[in-house]
Amino acid sequence: MKFPNTFKGIKKIWIAEMLMLLAAVLSIVLLFVIANNSAVIEDVAVVEDAVVVEDTLLVNTEAIKTPAAILGISASVLMIVAFLLNLIGIINCRKDDSNFVNALIATLLGVVCGVVNAIWGESNPRLGNWMEFVMVMESCYASYYVLTGVSKLSEAYPDEATKKLVDKSRNWLLGSFCLSAILKLIVDIFNIQDGTPKTIMAIVAVLAEIVSYVIYLMALNKSKKMLAK
């Protein structure tokens, strides 16, 4: 094995991504549980000779209390473990290439933005929105530098297919992030609050991110197998 530190690190990062996926699945299940135990009630009132209809969402809290607690806590624990594994994985990798040091810095900056958002984001929604955007940016940069490090180390292996997939994943990461950033700027500059244009832009951004993430997982998996040699 030529790069045992990076192999251990990439393996941890891969496991972390799998745990994040599992946490996402549990969160989706939780939403279905809440939706299945909810009902929308229409309230009709007369205000200044006009009929006003308001929809009120009622949730059966007793029915969802136990499953919500189990699913919510499980998803939170998985995300915390995934974050720690990802961080440890990057720390392992940094011993073999300086690109992983950049990934570590980006990850830590993302943590700082998360703390700022948690403290001041609610009282300052605009600051919160931008902190969330920077967190996404730092996550993208961290993944990009991880892939860059793997791409550099892959030159020591006769595995051109893995290198091409890693480079493709880097391009998709940057492309999807730039697309999301441009769409966010368009929404902010033109103050698009709702409606079809905002929905279409959101769908386009999400689809690009999904494709990018799938390719990223494929690249990590192939890199792990390559580094095991």
* pLDDT per residue as tens digits for the range 176-185: 888 888 887 7
Amino acid 55: pLDDT: 59
Mean local confidence (pLDDT), 129-146: 89
Amino acid 43: pLDDT: 60
Mean local confidence (pLDDT), 122-131: 84
pLDDT at 88 over 50: yes
CA 121 to chain centre: 18
Q: Which residues pair with 59 in a beta bridge?
A: 38
pLDDT at 59 over 60: yes
Share of the chain above pLDDT 70, in %: 90
Residue 180: closest CA among 220, 216, 212: 212
Predicted confidence band at 51 (pLDDT cuts at 50, 70, 90)? very low
Mean local confidence (pLDDT), 133-146: 90
Predicted confidence band at 128 (pLDDT cuts at 50, 70, 90)? confident
Which tokens is 202 given?
Answer: 């959101």
Q: Tell me the C-alpha distance between 143 and 174, whole Å.
A: 10
Predicted confidence band at 48 (pLDDT cuts at 50, 70, 90)? low
Mean local confidence (pLDDT), 127-150: 90
Mean local confidence (pLDDT), 93-121: 92
Q: Tell me the C-alpha distance between 68 and 214, whole Å.
A: 28
Compute the mean pLDDT over every residue in the chain, rounded to the nearest whole number: 86
pLDDT at 92 over 90: yes
Q: In the chain, what is the greatest distance between 2 CA atoms, to the nearest angstrom?
A: 80
